[in-house]
């Protein structure tokens, strides 16, 4: 039964990635955070949940990113700015998480999601995005995206949770923001996965079939369903208006924050 739940979670998460630029961590991370402690020691289970979520995101993000690029919804000049900060931040975050207590990690994740969800609900929908011209703020974008990559990878959550609301402040269409963030997320999650693997490589008491903090059986199941469902999410997003996309984004974030925080209460 656990494996069926994981397969469904992987599919729903990838569907959201295609629709709103992120989503795997919002579904997979709470699911793993609840299920893995029934299989392994709590101290190891949450760390496996974060690492496995990051690896699962990599599969869904690659598939969704290919679909987004085919639909010409990616700003390649903006993507070139985002690549290096994302990669460095994503690689360093898991090593910082290695020294954070599990209960603190759980509250950290829930707090981040709650802040962004409330921020998104307060934002005004606009097909043309914000008013600032991003070309004039390249250094700011690099610094912020490094911080986003680092802070997100500490807990194994999608960088798009924070990158999409931030980039929406610039004069960029929302669909282009989502498409660009989705492609960047493929690189972010790949380097984040490498960070979680290396951070847990020499840790004791890891279960069989673990690669660092990545639990391979769960990854395999969720990756398959994720690869199938991600393109469908991209097609579905094309039928939704920008206001609805932002509302979906905010509601999903808030629900995920409550689910993740619940085990600690």
Question: How does pLDDT run across 147-160, given as a tens digit for each residue?
Answer: 999 998 988 877 87
- Concatenated DSSP letters for the chain? -HHHHHHHHHHHHHHHHHHHS--HHHHHHHHHHHHGGGTS-HHHHHHHHHHHHHHHHHHHHHHHHHHHHHTT---HHHHHHHHHHHHHHHHHHHHHHTTS-HHHHHHHHHHHHHHHHHHHHHSPP-TT--SB-GGGGHHHHHHHHHHHHHHHHHHT--THHHHHHHHTTBSS-HHHHHHHHHHHHHHHHHHHHHHHHHHTTT-TTPPTTEETTEEHHHHHHHHHHHHHHHHHHHHHHTTS-HHHHHHHHHHHHHHHHHHHHGGG-
Tell me the average pLDDT of the chain.
81
Q: Which residue has the higher pLDDT, 80 or 261?
A: 80
Q: What is the pTM of this model?
A: 0.78
C-alpha count within 13 angstroms, C-beta hemisphere, residue 29:
34
pLDDT band at 71; cut points 50, 70, 90: low
Tell me what percent of the residues of the chain surpass a pLDDT of 90.
Answer: 20
- Tell me the per-residue pLDDT of 94-144, one tens digit each, with 9 for 90 and over: 999 888 887 888 788 778 778 767 766 765 444 445 678 888 889 999 999
Q: Which residue has the higher pLDDT, 265 or 257?
A: 257
Mean of pLDDT values over 10-17: 79
Tell me what percent of the residues of the chain surpass a pLDDT of 70.
Answer: 82
Does the pLDDT of residue 91 top 60, yes or no?
A: yes
Mean of pLDDT values over 67-73: 66
Q: Where are the domains of the chain?
A: 2-264
Mean of pLDDT values over 198-225: 90
């Amino acid at each position: 039964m656990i494996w069926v739940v994981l397969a469904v979670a992987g599919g729903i998460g990838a569907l959201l990635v295609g629709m709103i630029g992120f989503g795997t961590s919002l579904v997979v991370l709470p699911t793993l955070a609840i299920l893995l402690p029934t299989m392994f020691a709590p101290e190891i289970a949450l760390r496996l949940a974060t690492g496995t979520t990051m690896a699962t995101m990599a599969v869904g993000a690659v598939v969704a990113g290919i679909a987004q690029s085919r639909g010409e919804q990616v700003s390649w000049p903006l993507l070139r700015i985002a690549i290096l900060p994302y990669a460095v931040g994503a690689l360093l975050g898991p090593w910082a998480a290695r020294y954070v207590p599990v209960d603190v990690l759980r509250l950290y994740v829930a707090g981040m999601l709650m802040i962004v969800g409330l921020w998104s609900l307060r934002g005004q929908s606009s097909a043309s995005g914000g008013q600032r011209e991003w070309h004039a703020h390249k250094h700011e974008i690099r610094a912020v995206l490094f911080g986003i990559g680092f802070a997100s990878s500490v807990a194994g959550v999608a960088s798009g949770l924070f990158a999409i609301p931030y980039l929406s402040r610039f004069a960029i269409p929302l669909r282009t923001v989502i498409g660009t963030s989705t492609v960047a997320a493929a690189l972010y999650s790949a380097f984040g996965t490498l960070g979680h693997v290396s951070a847990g490589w020499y840790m004791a008491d890891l279960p069989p079939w673990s690669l660092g903090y990545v639990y391979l059986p769960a990854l395999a199941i969720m990756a398959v369903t994720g690869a199938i469902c991600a393109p469908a999410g991209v097609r579905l997003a094309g039928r939704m208006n920008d206001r609805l996309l932002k509302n979906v984004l905010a509601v999903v974030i808030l629900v995920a924050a409550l689910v993740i925080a619940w085990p600690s209460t």
